[in-house]
């Protein structure tokens, strides 16, 4: 018998050591052995084999019966199943196959669980603030509510099963790239994770608020000046709800400083810049058959959201005996969120109402009680365990009152001293079931079905636009809006008084809505929901310019078809500029200007107020207006708590009507300035900046509006940067660097619905795939795809490119 | 035992085939190819073939891993290599080289270690390498 030679142990142990070393993550790198292995590692994520496979049979998935998924040339899955259960199962399965890492990751972001993936301590802070805001808790409460509703529970559970069937079948080679890079694995999907994704969207849309800023401003300015600079309504509005008659509601016009709001109540001189973007909004409009060439209604929608790769949207068609619906879904949640079926189409824009309020609390030293109506009430507390990668879990204690969580307290003061020991009352934290709205909308056949669907919608408040092929059109400002006394929620509230609590919501049948108006069109673009005749006080972060422009275009034009609608949806005109520029020019005498400046003014005069990427005048107007603003509002920006300026229309009205208003007078100068001088000064400043831009980036608008569509990890290789873009927040095409029309959709109903759409992304969430970002270039050029709505399974089979059969 | 170039080349090809085959079985761990190479080493030692096993295995591993990277990049018509290069701040060919080196050193070492279990031959190629 041969003898084993012990000297082999030397190379053998080196071999084992190397294998161990290459299996270990070091220096922020994934385990290189696995990662660089060409048969299993990252290179395999370049494969589109599955998605391109002409006919793929996937067995033993655990689906009840079966489902067939047809892919068209753009890789939109068209799911056909014999039951709703199988349909949602297949939606879960195919969504996971396209977007697993994205949906999984966002559920961590929403829940405050990033410390489980990343080791940097900054993530612990993020997780703590997220838990303290309470999204995870709110999702858990919503889950309890949803578990009592059999329709939603079935849809969610089947979707979850589908996602998990996909995860179960994964091996390392097929694992999405980000898991390989960040060196972790997908966890099992759950209904809670789906709920977290909807709450995350709600967070983006309803997270913005200015309570502390408005409080400071009201205290500093007093009622008269406050209303002048920060009016409830600026008189340049085209409200969502047309044809409202009724008594004037003075609180919607002017707000009087509430009695409790004085320096003995609050003396904070701090401020904070909200992390939320108040301009995230959207456009949606609908015209009935009177205004179209076909005689059938056309509905348009483009939700303006943060642009990301992978996109927030996934296009999908869902077909079973109960429904046949096409549109975009949020990866990680069942059903279609914005879309159409054979009978109806619907769109959504953000309602922009304020539903997030802070209460100043009187909390005892030891955090055991707080004061309410002179009595001591026990402060509730609960513990949140934040698990951490490679470290011991962190347990956070979170206190809460009847209002909501005390987000910032002595153990978590670092972010924002101004709101320390304040309770947060946020509608998003209430249990709700928005899924049911979408499940029912997907199947809706008429107006009544639509109304029955949207009544379940609570938060964030949304404008739903609706069209039915019977030519009914409608718009509804839907959601839970608390009934408020005048000014309630606009400023910091007193947490020690029960009169400051909200008692009830505006009844559903009193919410702002319009149906079949005599104008034959309806529109929403985050503008005021009503005129001043609405009986309830409300408050929000409304924008008027886009709505005004849309209104002009819809009013003056007849005979709409999808081509006209495409032009309208990609319109780059800033309606505000069209009013402001003549006013600026009125204020500027050419005396003393040099030749170049005079020729610039000539060019400005012939400008059509467009923000096309190749145009050169938009930048100059922007600079001129910005400088006029800065010079005028120096009184405001001088405050220690400065964070927001009055809106554009306020300054415009001041220029027009009160050229000698004291706000035009600069602080710290001996002479008294009026508007002419300010506008002139702003012109010269803008001119210098414009020349500088010309030397550096270039004055074409596209050079100053470059797309930045980021991957959640911010890795440049997986993101789109530096793509020149047309558009402006005040134009209908609101493309603005990192946010904009995330999905453009135009639907003409009829015997067969015809949809056109495009979103900024691609169907695959895999950065190695050809289908990762292939829609972005055409989207940025304002192109549309004709959407493949298959009426029958036979049609899908004939016209699609490939199929998967789930068994 | 002196052997022909043909046998040497055959061993090289067998090593490549073993690396590819164990790579294509997706359920095996990433280092699984070292096991059959180790056994091949034992076999070579048993036959007392005079082959520089570290170099033979090393080249087989290098070309298989590096080559497969390029092959899959071409086959999938993908930009993934370039993108990961950007993430790791290196040129994409550097990634191919790194991959080749990892495959190479492990394959070479596995084959060499196999020959040392019974150590019938006097194969010194790794020792020479270390001494130089």
State pLDDT tens for residues B37-66. Answer: 999 998 988 888 888 889 999 999 999 999
The alpha carbon torsion through A785, A786, A791, A793 (nearest 10 deg) reads -50
Check B126 against A39: CB less than 8 A apart.
Answer: no
Check A47 against B99: CB less than 8 A apart.
Answer: no
Provide DSSP, A302-334: EEEEE-BSS-S-EEEEEEETTEEEEEEE-TTSS
Check B118 against A12: CB less than 8 A apart.
Answer: no
Architecture of domain A51-205: Orthogonal Bundle (1.10)
Helix axes A150-168, A435-443, angle to 10 degrees: 90
Q: Do A100 and A186 form a contact (C-beta atoms < 8 A)?
A: yes
- The alpha-carbon gap from B10 to the nearest alpha carbon of chain A, in Å, equals 23
Question: For residues A429 and A451, what is the distance between their CA atoms, to the nearest angstrom?
Answer: 24
Which of A15, A24, A183, A713 to mutate: most B Cβ within 10 Å?
A15
What pLDDT is attached to residue B123? 55
What pLDDT is attached to residue B129? 59
Helices (H) and strands (E) in chain A, counts: 22, 27
Q: Do A615 and A699 form a contact (C-beta atoms < 8 A)?
A: no
Tokens 């995350």, located at residue: A200
CB contact residues (below 8 A), chain A span 7-36, against chain B:
7-8, 10-12, 14-15, 18-19, 22-23, 29, 32-34, 36
Nearest CA in chain B to A766: B80
Task: Identify which of B26, B64, B113 has the shortest CB distance to residue A15.
Answer: B113
Question: For residues A315 and A329, what is the distance between their CA atoms, to the nearest angstrom?
Answer: 6
What pLDDT is attached to residue A274? 75
Task: Identify which of A3, A10, A768 has the shortest CB distance to residue B78.
Answer: A768
A159: Cβ–Cβ under 8 A, 6 or more apart, which residues?
A: A88, A89, A91, A92, A194, A333, A334
Q: Which residues of B touch A12 (CB under 8 A)?
A: 113, 116
Task: Decide if pLDDT at B130 tops 70.
Answer: no
Provide DSSP, A513-533: EEES-TTSEEEESS--SS-TT
Provide DSSP, chain B: ----HHHHHHHHHHHHHHHHHHHH-TTS-TTTTHHHHHHHHHHHHHHT----HHHHHHHHHHHHHHHHHHHHHHHHT-SHHHHHHHHTTS-HHHHHHHHHHHHHHHHHHHHHHHHHTT--S---HHHHHHH-
Check B87 against A5: CB less than 8 A apart.
Answer: no
Task: Identify which of A11, A40, A177 has the shortest CB distance to residue B30.
Answer: A40
Question: Is A769 an interface residue toward B (CB < 8 Å)?
Answer: yes
What pLDDT is attached to residue B122? 59
What pLDDT is attached to residue B1? 63
Question: Is B31 an interface residue toward A (CB < 8 Å)?
Answer: yes
Under the banding of pLDDT at 50, 70 and 90, the label for residue B126 is low
A28: Cβ–Cβ under 8 A, 6 or more apart, which residues?
A: none
What pLDDT is attached to residue A643? 85
The candidate with the shortest Cα–Cα distance to A505, out of A548, A554, A530, A538, is: A538
A493-494 and A356-360 strand pairing: parallel
Q: Do A524 and A461 form a contact (C-beta atoms < 8 A)?
A: no
Pick out chain A residues at pLDDT < 70.
1-2, 268-269, 271-272, 414-417
Share of chain B above pLDDT 90, in %: 67
Check A8 against B26: CB less than 8 A apart.
Answer: no
Chain A to chain B, count of Cβ pairs less than 8 Å apart?
Answer: 134
Q: Which residues of A touch B63 (CB under 8 A)?
A: none
A13: Cβ–Cβ under 8 A, 6 or more apart, which residues?
A: none
Question: Is B130 an interface residue toward A (CB < 8 Å)?
Answer: no
Question: For residues B22 and A36, what is the distance between their CA atoms, to the nearest angstrom?
Answer: 15
Question: Is A549 an interface residue toward B (CB < 8 Å)?
Answer: no
Helix (H, G, I), strand (E, B) or coil at A77: strand
Task: Decide if pLDDT at B108 tops 70.
Answer: yes
Q: Which residues of A touch B79 (CB under 8 A)?
A: 46, 768
The ipTM estimated for the assembled molecules is 0.92
What pLDDT is attached to residue B125? 59
Task: Decide if pLDDT at B132 tops 60.
Answer: no
**Statement: A206-355+435-459+466-490+506-569 belongs to CATH 3.30.465.10:** no
Helix axes A121-133, A135-146, angle to 10 degrees: 50
Q: What is the mean pLDDT of residues B91-114?
A: 95
Check B112 against A11: CB less than 8 A apart.
Answer: yes
Q: Do A132 and A404 form a contact (C-beta atoms < 8 A)?
A: no
Helix (H, G, I), strand (E, B) or coil at A547: helix
Question: For residues A418 and A215, what is the distance between their CA atoms, to the nearest angstrom?
Answer: 11
Predicted TM-score of the model (pTM): 0.94
CB contact residues (below 8 A), chain A span 565-594, against chain B:
none
pLDDT averaged over every residue in chain B: 89
Chain Cα centroid distance, residue A759: 14
């Amino acid at each position: 018998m041969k003898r084993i030679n012990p000297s082999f142990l030397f190379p053998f142990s080196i071999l084992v050591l190397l294998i161990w070393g290459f299996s270990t993550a070091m220096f922020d790198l994934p385990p290189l052995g696995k990662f660089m292995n060409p048969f299993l590692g990252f290179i395999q994520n370049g494969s589109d084999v599955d998605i391109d496979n002409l006919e793929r049979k996937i067995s033993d998935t655990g689906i009840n019966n079966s489902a067939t998924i047809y892919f068209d040339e753009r890789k939109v899955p068209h799911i056909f199943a014999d039951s709703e259960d199988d349909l949602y199962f297949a939606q879960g399965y195919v969504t996971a196959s396209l977007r697993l890492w994205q949906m999984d990751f966002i559920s961590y972001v929403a829940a405050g669980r990033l410390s489980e993936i990343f080791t940097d301590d900054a993530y612990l802070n993020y997780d703590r603030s997220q838990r303290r805001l309470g999204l995870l808790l709110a999702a858990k409460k919503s889950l309890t509510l949803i578990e009592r509703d059999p329709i939603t529970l079935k849809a969610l559970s089947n979707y979850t099963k589908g996602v998990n069937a996909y995860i179960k079948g994964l091996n390392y080679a097929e694992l999405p790239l980000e898991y390989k890079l960040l060196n972790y694995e997908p966890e099992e999907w759950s209904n809670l994770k789906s709920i977290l994704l909807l709450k995350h969207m709600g967070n983006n849309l309803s997270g913005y608020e200015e309570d502390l800023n408005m409080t400071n401003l009201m205290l500093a300015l007093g009622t008269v000046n406050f209303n002048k600079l920060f009016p409830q309504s600026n008189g340049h509005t085209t409200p969502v709800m047309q044809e409202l008659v009724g008594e004037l509601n003075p609180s919607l016009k002017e707000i009087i400083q509430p009695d409790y709001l004085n320096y003995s109540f609050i003396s904070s001189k701090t401020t904070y810049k909200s992390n939320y973007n108040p301009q995230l909004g959207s456009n949606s409009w609908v015209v009935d058959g009177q205004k179209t060439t076909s005689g059938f209604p056309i509905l348009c929608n483009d939700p303006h959201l943060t642009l990301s790769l992978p996109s927030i949207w996934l296009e999908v068609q869902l077909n079973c005996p109960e429904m046949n619906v096409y549109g975009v879904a949020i990866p990680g949640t069942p059903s279609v969120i914005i879309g159409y079926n054979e009978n109806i189409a619907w769109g959504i824009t953000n309602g922009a109402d304020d539903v997030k309020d802070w209460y100043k609390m009187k909390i005892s030293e030891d955090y055991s009680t707080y004061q309410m109506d002179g009595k001591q009430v026990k402060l509730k507390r609960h513990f949140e365990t934040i698990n951490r990668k490679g470290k011991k879990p962190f347990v956070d204690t979170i206190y809460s009152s009847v209002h909501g969580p005390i987000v910032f307290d002595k153990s978590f003061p670092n972010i924002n001293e101004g709101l320390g020991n304040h309770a947060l009352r946020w509608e998003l934290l209430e249990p709700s079931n928005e899924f049911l709205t979408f499940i029912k909308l997907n199947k809706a056949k008429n107006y009544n079905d639509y109304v029955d669907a949207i009544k379940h919608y609570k938060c964030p408040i949304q404008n739903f636009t609706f069209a039915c092929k019977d030519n009914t059109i409608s718009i509804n400002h839907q959601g839970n809006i608390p009934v408020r006394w005048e000014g309630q929620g606009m400023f910091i509230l007193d947490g020690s008084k029960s009169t400051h609590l909200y008692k009830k919501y505006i009844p559903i049948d009193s919410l702002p809505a319009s149906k079949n108006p005599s104008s034959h069109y309806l529109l929403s673009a985050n503008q005021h929901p009503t005129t001043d005749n609405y009986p309830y006080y409300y408050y929000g972060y409304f924008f008027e310019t886009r709505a005004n422009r849309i209104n002009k275009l819809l009013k003056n034009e007849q005979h709409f078809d999808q081509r006209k609608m495409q032009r309208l949806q990609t319109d780059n005109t800033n309606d505000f500029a069209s009013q402001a520029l003549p006013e600026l020019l009125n204020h500027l005498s050419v005396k003393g200007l040099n030749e170049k400046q005079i020729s610039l003014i000539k060019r400005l005069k012939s400008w059509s107020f467009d923000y096309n990427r190749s145009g050169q005048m938009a930048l100059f107007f922007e600079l001129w207006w910005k400088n006029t603003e800065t010079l005028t509002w120096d009184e405001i920006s001088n405050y220690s708590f400065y964070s927001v300026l009055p809106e554009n229309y306020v300054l415009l009205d001041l220029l027009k009507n009160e050229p000698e208003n004291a706000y035009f007078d600069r602080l710290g100068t001996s002479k008294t300035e009026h508007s002419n001088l300010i506008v002139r000064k702003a012109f010269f400043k803008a001119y210098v900046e414009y020349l500088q831009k010309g030397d550096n980036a270039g004055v074409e608008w596209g050079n100053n509006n470059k797309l930045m569509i980021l991957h959640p990890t911010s890795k440049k290789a997986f993101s789109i940067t530096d793509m020149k873009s047309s558009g402006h927040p005040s134009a209908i095409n609101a493309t603005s660097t990192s946010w904009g029309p995330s999905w453009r959709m135009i639907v003409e109903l009829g015997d067969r619905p015809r949809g056109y759409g495009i979103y900024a992304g691609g169907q695959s969430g895999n950065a190695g795939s050809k289908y990762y970002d292939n829609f972005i270039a055409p989207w940025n050029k304002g192109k549309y795809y004709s959407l493949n709505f298959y009426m029958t399974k036979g049609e899908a089979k004939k016209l699609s490119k490939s199929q998967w059969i789930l068994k | 035992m002196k052997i022909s170039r043909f046998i040497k080349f055959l061993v090289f090809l067998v090593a490549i085939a073993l690396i590819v085959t164990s790579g294509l079985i997706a359920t095996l761990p990433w280092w699984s190819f070292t096991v059959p190479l180790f056994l091949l080493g034992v076999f070579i030692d048993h036959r007392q073939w005079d082959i520089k096993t570290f170099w033979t295995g090393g080249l087989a591993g290098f070309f298989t891993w590096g080559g497969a990277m390029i092959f899959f990049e071409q086959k999938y018509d993908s930009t993934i290599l370039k993108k990961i290069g950007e993430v790791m701040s290196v040129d994409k060919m550097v990634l191919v080289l790194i991959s080749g080196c990892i495959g190479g050193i492990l394959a070479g070492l596995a084959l060499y270690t196999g020959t040392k279990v019974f150590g019938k031959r006097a194969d010194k190629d790794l020792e020479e390498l270390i001494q130089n």
